[in-house]
Amino acid sequence: MFRLWRRVRDGTLEKAEFQKLIEPIKEKAGELLFAGTLSTHSKTRNTCSNILKLELSLWTFAGVEGVEPTNNQVERALRRAVMWRRKSFGTQSEVGSRFVERILTVVTTLRQQGRSVLDYLKNVCVAGAAGENLSGLGFQAI
């Protein structure tokens, strides 16, 4: 499935052809999940039952443009926050937690947009110190 998906991404396989080719894969995955619901191992049984409830969602990427079959993009976005928390031992207050949530959101968003984090924060600080309305400048207070 992932080999086929890479071909769709690189343009060597049409999306309609991809959808036809993954039908047997979808069927086999469904059969395996169903078999897992009959397992004597309770964790396997429960996991397969839970996945089957969301089975249609597993294949959203096949029909919806822009949806990837992995969560790699999300994992990359969360990595910075996970690494920060591991190194810093978290926060000591609600105010600190809110600040970290907001600054990490700003950093992640700016990086996704290809914008400079330092320039953005510098401009926000300068505008804030001057008493300017940040939203009017296209900035959001963090």
pLDDT tens-digit map of 2-33: 999 999 989 999 999 999 999 999 999 999 99
pLDDT at residue 135 tops 70:
no
Residue 136, CB half-sphere, CA atoms under 13 Å: how many? 5
Does the model's pTM come out above 0.75?
A: no
Cα–Cα distance list, 126 to 47, 119, 138 (Å) = 52, 11, 14
**DSSP code for 137:** G
Class of residue 62 by CB neighbours under 10 A (exposed 0-12, middle 13-18, buried 19+): buried
Greatest mean pLDDT among 50-54, 81-85, 96-100, 130-134: 50-54
